[in-house]
Amino acid sequence: MQLLGGFETALSWWNLFYCLVGVTVGMLVGVLPGLGPATATALLIPITFGMDPISAIIMLAGIYYGGMYGGTITSVLINTPGEAASVITCLDGYPLAKQGRAGVALGVAAIGSFIGGTISIIGLAFIGPALAEWALKFGPPEFFALMLFGLVMVVGLMGRSLIRGLIAAFLGLILSLVGLDPVSGAQRFTFGQPFLLEGFDIVTITMGLFGISEILLGMESMYKTGELPKVKGLLPRRDEWKPTMKAIGRGTALGFVSGLVPGTSSTIPALLSYSLERQIAKDKSRFGKGAIEGVAGPETANNAYCGSALIPLFTLGIPSSPTIAILLGAFIMHGLTPGPTLFMENPNFVWAIIASMFIGNLILLIMNLPLAGMWAKVALVPPKLLYPIILLITVLGAYSINNSLWDVGVMYAFGIIGYFMKKLDIPMAPVVLTIVLSKLMETSLTQSMTIFEGNMFAFFQRPISATLIVLSIVVLIFSVFAEVKNKKSALAGDIEM
């Protein structure tokens, strides 16, 4: 019944309009190489200041899952991924396009994305309330242990190097300490600057790290332009339906489970799905040459990830990716606190967002199947026209946060930092996630120490917090061993050469 009430709210003409705007912008940023959902969401948050919270989050969520659809189009047609998760689609999507089957690749991707996205939203609708009810049993010690687990997962899973992941997480930890102490109110790392009393704004940091850095990199190497292959015949052959649907089913399961794990990204389930499809295939040589399962599985997985990644946000208040962290900032900005009480205190809001995602997925399916060729032409816009527009939007967006040029300067400073981080192959996602998680973790730790009267071992006297801390230690140990193994393998390879 609550979901029906959510549909009633989501189907109002203004919320339908904002849903359409969100998924359209998401498609656009997915198609444009170098941009991504995190950048677009951060850029558009300032526009939502005066909006109704439901409409604002409907639009921002639409950008998030819409970006996953858009990235597929350029991956298939011009071998240029619009966002990170679509890199895997290039492996078999572009070869299919060269065989004259671009329409089939796009059709399968759109169908898989719709199925995976819809099933993950159903999972959110059913699992979310139950998980939220269970999370009501959490006290400060359990929340601290949960944040610690999320922080360890961020470091362990982001990037190809544990050392680089730790560097990024350490940077995020330092940035989170700037401002007033949440308990004593003492100033920390403000250097007498009133602008730093409230700390760094997460939206400003994200706009710089993800948006400005991409523009700087893009200016170094302008994107190629060329002819687009024709899009015709959107459905696979009769004998291809069975393997395609099996790949979609496996991709849905992988994507959904991956979204529940803090610290992952949509790239991970896409990569896992492609690896799985290749491993179980009778003829592995087809992959990389136009295997339809190599498109269906990963595209389904990254869209299934989107819906399930909202479950930790809605029920526990934990962001599982940079874009979700930005959404968390939007929630707080509109006076909403994600966590166990969200379903009870704001049921109209929660169910309207869930219902809008069903509607948005249907809109995206309609937009993708007949209009794929039109969207791909957007990717051929010359960068010399595109970049000035994006820079103007970023300046206006950063300034409108607090009507201050300070935020504009901070954004550009972090844009330069992000540029060098990308050059050095240091992942940026742990910076954003650590800023969000560490602030929550500090508050929970302080409250826990007050409850335990300074006894750290009391964390292990509570089953949930003890289990989560032990899991954090196990993940960290495995990450260290994996790093050592990778270093040894790389060293052995260098010796052989």
> What's residue 493's pLDDT?
56
The average pLDDT across 430-449 equals 79
Whether 466 shows a pLDDT value over 80: the answer reads: yes
DSSP lists the bridge partners of residue 180 as: 187
**Coil, strand or helix: which one is 466?**
helix
pLDDT of 456 strictly over 80: yes
Helix residue spans in 317-378 (DSSP H): 322-333, 342-345, 347-378
User: Is residue 377's pLDDT more than 80?
Assistant: no
Calpha distance 212→325 (Å, rounded): 18
**What percentage of the chain's residues is helix, strand, coil (to nearest 5)?**
75, 0, 20
Backbone angles phi, psi at 352, to 5 degrees: -70, -40
Alpha helices per DSSP H over 260-321:
267-280, 293-316
With a pLDDT cut of 70, the percent of the chain lying above it is: 80
- Taking the C-alpha atoms of residue 44 and residue 41, their distance in angstroms, rounded to an integer, is 5
- Residues 313-330 have pLDDT tens digits of 887 777 767 778 778 878
Quote the pLDDT of residue 296: 84
What's the pLDDT score for residue 160? 56
**CA dihedral over 60, 82, 259, 428, signed as positive or negative:** negative
C-alpha–C-alpha distance, residues 260 and 241, integer Å? 29
Lowest mean pLDDT among 47-61, 192-206, 289-303: 192-206
Count of C-beta atoms within a 10 Å radius of residue 185 = 7
Q: Both tokens of residue 113?
A: 């994305």
Asked whether the predicted pLDDT for residue 202 surpasses 70, the reply is yes
Give the angle 118-23-244 at the CA atoms, nearest 5°: 40
State the pLDDT at residue 452.
Answer: 84
pLDDT at 361 over 70: yes
Least confident of 19-23, 238-242, 394-398: 394-398
Could you tell me if 364 and 23 are in contact, meaning their C-beta atoms sit under 8 angstroms apart?
yes
- Whole-number pLDDT of residue 87: 65
Q: What is the pLDDT of residue 50?
A: 76
Cα(434)–Cα(404) distance, integer angstroms: 25
Q: What confidence score (pLDDT) does residue 80 get?
A: 61
Is the pLDDT reported for residue 58 higher than 80? yes
The predicted pLDDT at position 81 comes to: 61
pLDDT at 448: 87
DSSP letter for 69, please.
Answer: H
Q: What letter does residue 79 receive in the DSSP assignment?
A: S
Quick one: which of 116, 95, 115 has its CA closest to 104? 95
Q: What is the pLDDT of residues 65-81, one digit of tens each?
A: 887 777 777 677 766 66
Q: Which residue has the tokens 């527009």?
A: 389
Q: Between vectors from CA 127 to CA 263 and to CA 345, what angle results, nearest 5°?
A: 95
Structure token digits, residue 491: 């060293």
Q: Token pair 């599985």 is at which residue? A: 297
pLDDT, tens digit, for every residue of 47-56? 777 788 888 8
Cα angle, residue 245 at apex, residues 241 and 247 outer, rounded to 5°: 120
Average pLDDT of span 209-234 = 65
- Checking if the pLDDT of 420 tops 80, the result is yes
pLDDT of 43 > 80? The answer is no
pLDDT of residue 380: 62
Half-sphere exposure of 152 toward its Cβ, with a 13 Å CA cutoff?
A: 19
Joined together, the tokens standing for residue 8 give 């009633």
pLDDT band (50, 70, 90) for residue 27:
confident
3-state secondary structure of 332: helix
Which pLDDT band holds residue 154 (cuts at 50, 70, 90)?
A: low
Cα-Cα-Cα-Cα torsion 337, 301, 83, 440, nearest 10 degrees, comes to 20
pLDDT band at 373 (very low <50, low <70, confident <90, very high): low
pLDDT reported for residue 489: 65
Q: Count Cβ atoms below 10 Å from residue 98 Cβ, excluding itself.
A: 12
Q: In whole angstroms, give the CA distance from residue 406 to residue 403.
A: 9
Mean pLDDT of 255-278: 74
Q: Where are the domains of the chain?
A: 1-494
Q: What is the pLDDT of residue 350?
A: 83
Q: What is the mean pLDDT of residues 329-353?
A: 80
- How confident is the model over 303-310, as a mean pLDDT? 82
